[in-house]
């Protein structure tokens, strides 16, 4: 038995030693936590947290870095300002102080800007940068080129008219024929023969200027009260029809071979005959000459369709191209006023001398408001001439 206890004894000693050490440790902790009466236990403060330190700033780099204001409206970017300053100092044509003050003024409201007066406009210099860094020049204002109504007497070719048509679609070959016909006072169907036989013609320096050209005025203010009237000009044989003073259409014509065969004066349409034939002058074959779409204005002088070979080709009548004569015949009425003048330049003076003419100014004759009373007016013939 003693032998058996020998093996257990060391184990018991080791266990008792561990128990004694544990007990002493617990008593020590209890003795440390026990606070005598009246003593204040100081509270432990948590350790302070250290703020992360900022990285050192390079002041030189900070001063050079500036925001890019190139895309901000009304602001001048630093690169722009430095470039303009270098250019100004080099060329000497810009005061940098003024430019700098203007840039500062752009950041202020009008009330805060120095020298601001309410209601007064203020201009700031506008600087724009070109591709080379310099301020571009202000483009010159281009004025519209005045139309060239000049002409030259020369031979014109079909190739020239075709090139015009390719350049301007409105100037077709037929349109160019009409322009040449109006300028040369002949029927348009004579133009191809003249080109083919190389006959010199009056050719416009600029065909585009003659697209809507007419030697007659577009508007006559003095005759704005007239419903309808016709004007015939002799120096450049042309006829135009007007409504309320505004030209509605015109055409080249043929008048008397001699200047006084078609007399200037104030007339009216007395007769209309769509199938009129001449009883005074036969045609080439000795037969009565046809004068279709005829309007008689005085004596045996008619406005009618005819062959317009040149500006002065008749015995006194006014010949028109056939299609135009038909249109005018349907437009005009019996009693429509017809004014024949030697020149367009005479028109103003002619109207001034005829203020009392009832055919031109209805207010001069109150009875004109009642056409039935015309027969009661002594000496009225419906035709008033002037010299």
- Say yes or no to pLDDT of 383 above 70: no
Helix 173-184 / helix 158-167 crossing angle, nearest 10 deg = 120
pLDDT tens digits along 129-152: 545 555 556 555 666 678 888 999
CA angle 78, 84, 86 (to 5 degrees): 105
- Say yes or no to pLDDT of 35 above 60: no
Tell me which residue has tokens 């062959």.
307
Contacts for 209 with CB less than 8 Å, ≥ 6 apart: 147, 148, 149
Q: What is the 3-state secondary structure (H, E, C) of 94-122?
A: CCHHHHHHHHHHHCCCCCCCCCCCCCCCC
* C-alpha distance from residue 384 to each of 125, 255, 348 (Å): 70, 20, 17
pTM, entire model: 0.60
pLDDT at site 193 = 95
> Measured between alpha carbons, how far is 237 from 186 in angstroms, rounded to an integer?
10
3-state secondary structure at position 347: helix
Query: What's the rounded mean pLDDT across residues 12-37?
Result: 56
Nearest Cα neighbor of 255 from 282, 278, 235 is: 235
Domains of the chain: 151-210 (no CATH), 221-376 (2.40.440.10)
Let me know: does 113 contact 122? Beta carbons within 8 Å. yes
Helix H or strand E encompassing 134: none
According to DSSP, residue 257 is labeled S
């Amino acid at each position: 038995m003693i032998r058996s206890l020998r093996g257990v004894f060391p184990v018991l000693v080791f266990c008792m030693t561990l128990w004694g050490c544990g007990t002493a440790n617990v008593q020590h902790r209890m003795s440390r936590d026990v606070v005598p009466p009246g003593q204040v236990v100081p509270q432990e403060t948590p350790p302070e947290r250290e703020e992360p330190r900022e990285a050192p700033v390079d002041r030189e780099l900070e001063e050079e870095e500036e925001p890019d204001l190139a895309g901000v409206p009304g602001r001048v970017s630093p690169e722009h300002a430095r470039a303009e300053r270098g250019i100004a100092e080099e060329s000497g044509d810009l005061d940098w102080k003024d430019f700098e003050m203007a840039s500062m003024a752009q950041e202020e409201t009008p009330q805060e800007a120095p020298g601001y007066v309410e209601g007064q406009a203020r201009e700031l210099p506008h600087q724009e940068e070109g591709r080379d860094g310099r301020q571009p020049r202000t483009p010159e204002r281009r004025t519209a080129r005045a139309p060239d109504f000049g002409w030259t007497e020369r031979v014109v070719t079909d190739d020239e008219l075709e090139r015009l048509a390719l350049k301007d679609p409105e100037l077709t070959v037929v349109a160019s024929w009409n322009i040449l016909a109006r300028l040369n006072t002949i029927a348009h169907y004579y133009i191809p023969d003249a080109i083919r036989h190389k006959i010199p013609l009056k050719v416009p320096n600029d065909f585009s200027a003659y697209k809507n050209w007419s030697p007659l005025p577009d508007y006559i203010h003095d005759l704005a009260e007239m419903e309808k009237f016709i004007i015939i000009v002799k120096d450049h044989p042309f006829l135009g029809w007007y409504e309320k003073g505004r030209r509605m259409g015109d055409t080249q014509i043929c008048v008397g071979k001699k200047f006084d065969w078609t007399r200037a004066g104030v007339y009216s349409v007395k007769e209309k005959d769509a199938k009129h034939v001449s009883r005074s002058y036969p045609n080439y074959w000795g037969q009565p000459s046809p004068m279709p779409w005829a309007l008689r204005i005085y004596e045996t002088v008619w406005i009618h369709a005819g062959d317009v070979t040149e500006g002065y080709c008749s015995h006194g009548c006014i010949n028109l191209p056939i299609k135009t004569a038909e249109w005018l015949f349907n437009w005009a009425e019996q009693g429509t006023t017809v004014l024949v003048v030697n020149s367009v330049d005479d028109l103003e003076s002619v109207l001034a001398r005829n203020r009392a003419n009832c055919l031109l100014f209805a207010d001069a004759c109150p009875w004109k408001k009642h056409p039935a009373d015309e027969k009661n007016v002594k000496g009225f013939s419906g035709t008033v001439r002037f010299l």
